[in-house]
Amino acid sequence: MKHAIVFSHPNDRSFTASAAQAYAKACEALGHKIIVRDLYRLGFDPCLKSAELPFNPDFRPGPDVVTERGHLEDSDTFVFFYPLWLNSPPAMIKGYWERVFGFGFAYGAGGHSYTPLLTGRKMISFSSSGAPASWMQESGNLPAVRTLFDNSFAAVCGMRVLDHVHFGGVTPNASEPFVQARLDEVQQVVTRHFGRKACH
């Protein structure tokens, strides 16, 4: 099984980066293949181009999009790590979804925008916020994220959502034991969904 781990944070020593690394480590312990796409270190351009709009007469994916799709095309599970800023995913990862998971890769079979192309693939998301997880849930912000950026996005692509794990209270001054406990949770999620017992 191959996991495409995509994460978005400008700080390469952030909790988001550490969580992505914890996921990768857990996958490797199971003997799974991984590919990691660190969007900021890659310098990915999140701005959708006019030519990338579906049904544009000059429609064509940009060279960087073609490259990314080549990296992802044989992945079984797509895993996204990102913080919530203003209670939504960063522009960087939103642009990645729009450009890379666009027409001709994630949907558009037979030239129809409503026909998914990633049927049978799986999706997991890990998000974090400085606000407590309970407040994110009660305020409606976390359910909105799950509706728009998990369920709706996955449905367009044909993917099955396995999980969305949210970590609240993630701040720059969070204690080392708190952070380590969250990283342990990430590894537990991998074991729960992909461990030997889960695969039988």
The CA–CA distances, whole Å, from 145 to 53, 77, 125, 186 equal 24, 20, 10, 19
Q: Is residue 157 included in any domain, yes or no?
A: yes
Where residue 54 sits, what CATH number does that domain have? Answer: 3.40.50.360
Name which residue leads in pLDDT, 46 or 196.
46
Q: Is residue 17 included in any domain, yes or no?
A: yes
| Rounded mean pLDDT, 70-89 | 97
Q: Is residue 200 included in any domain, yes or no?
A: no
Coil, helix or strand at residue 88: strand
Q: Is residue 119 included in any domain, yes or no?
A: yes
Estimate to the nearest angstrom the gap between the alpha carbon of 100 and the chain centroid: 12
- Token digits of residue 41: 């270190």
pLDDT tens digits for range 83-122? 999 999 999 999 999 999 999 999 998 877 789 999 999 9
pLDDT at 196 over 80: no
pLDDT score recorded for residue 197? 59
Residue 132 and residue 146: Cα distance in Å, rounded? 16
| Rounded mean pLDDT, 163-169 | 98
Reported confidence tier of residue 198, pLDDT bands at 50, 70, 90:
low
| Rounded mean pLDDT, 131-155 | 97
Name which residue leads in pLDDT, 138 or 196.
138
Q: How many domains does the chain have?
A: 1
Q: Is residue 69 included in any domain, yes or no?
A: yes
Q: Is residue 199 included in any domain, yes or no?
A: no
Reported confidence tier of residue 200, pLDDT bands at 50, 70, 90:
very low
User: Structural domain of residue 139, as residue ranges?
Assistant: 2-194
pTM of the model: 0.95
Residue 162 and residue 159: Cα distance in Å, rounded? 9
pLDDT at 199 over 70: no
| Rounded mean pLDDT, 41-49 | 97
Coil, helix or strand at residue 147: helix
pLDDT at 76 over 60: yes
- Token digits of residue 89: 């995913």
**Angle at alpha carbon of residue 84, lines to 181 and 32, rounded to 5°:** 55
pLDDT score recorded for residue 55? 83
Q: Residue 13 class from Cβ within 10 Å (0-12 exposed, 13-18 middle, 19+ buried)?
A: exposed
